[in-house]
Amino acid sequence: MNNHASFIHPAGWPFIAIAAGIFLGCALIGGMAFLVGVVLLAWVIYFFRNPKRVTPVRPGLVISPADGRVCLITEVVPDEELGLGSEKRLRISIFLSIFNVHINRCPIEGTVVDKIYRPGKFFNASLDKASVDNERNALALTMTGEHPFKGQKIGVVQIAGLIARRIVCWSSIGDTLRSGERFGLIRFGSRTDLYLPQGMQPMVCVGQTVLGGETVLADALSQENVREGEVR
């Protein structure tokens, strides 16, 4: 299990070291090169930040697996490889810009029952086709806890984007995860998809900004209708 709580995630240190080397070279040149080096080093450190989050822990809550913006909420048939059945489910897609925290967190209390990696392309992660064509890693989890959806599966998919070229997932089949627990990261701009169980409604809207490990995306105990949002 890899649930690092340090401010900088250990996966970032090799990249910070590279950026530091570039900074030193730029510093020797001076002038505008020095400023470029400062910005690059600062951004790489910022990108791999790994903040603590306060996760709501009531049974049945589905928590955002990533920071970013909800770019799509669509009803789709999940890929067969996910093992989530052939019926349509609601999929919440979260787009992560290069300025978002890129740590992925478990959306529920549950057990990993499948893990599937598939190579693919690197389309812009905000596009709908990214869910099908892009490189990705998927986890299927069985929900635990006392609520009506206990024992049902939920899917969370890490998707590489136009800039992201590396998906990291340290959770394995058989792991029992807590909601909000770190399970992976995606480097340099990406997307995370969440497949809700059938009959569960989202509590967020397209365009809404969410925080991984904190924002409630759905509630197994809620009877609320699908939410609508307005830009104000």
Domains of the chain, by residue range, sit at: 10-47, 61-209
34-43, 124-133, 165-174: lowest mean pLDDT where?
Answer: 124-133
- 60 and 196 Cβ atoms separated by less than 8 Å: no
pLDDT at 181 over 60: yes
Q: Tell me the whole-structure pTM to 2 decimals.
A: 0.85
pLDDT at 179 over 90: yes
Residue 163 buriedness (CB in 10 A; 0-12 / 13-18 / 19+):
middle
Domain 61-209 top-level CATH class: mainly beta
pLDDT at 222 over 90: no
Looking at residue 121, its pLDDT comes to 58
pLDDT digits (tens, 9 = 90+) for 114-169: 999 887 655 554 555 555 567 889 999 999 988 999 999 999 999 886 655 678 89
- End-to-end CA gap in the chain: 42
Average of per-residue pLDDT across 92-116: 93
Average of per-residue pLDDT across 1-23: 77
Task: With CA atoms as reference, report the closest residue to 214 among 101, 56, 93.
Answer: 56
d(CA 232, CA 226): 19
Q: How many CA atoms lie within 13 A of 110 on its CB side?
A: 28
d(CA 211, CA 82): 25
d(CA 212, CA 65): 5
Give the model's confidence band at 189: pLDDT under 50 very low, under 70 low, under 90 confident, else very high. low
d(CA 206, CA 93): 9
Coil, strand or helix at 44: helix
d(CA 207, CA 139): 25
Looking at residue 15, its pLDDT comes to 82
Q: What residues act catalytically? A: 190
Average of per-residue pLDDT across 58-87: 90
Coil, strand or helix at 70: strand
Looking at residue 223, its pLDDT comes to 82
The residue among 164 and 176 whose pLDDT is bigger is 176
Mean pLDDT of the chain: 86
Looking at residue 11, its pLDDT comes to 79
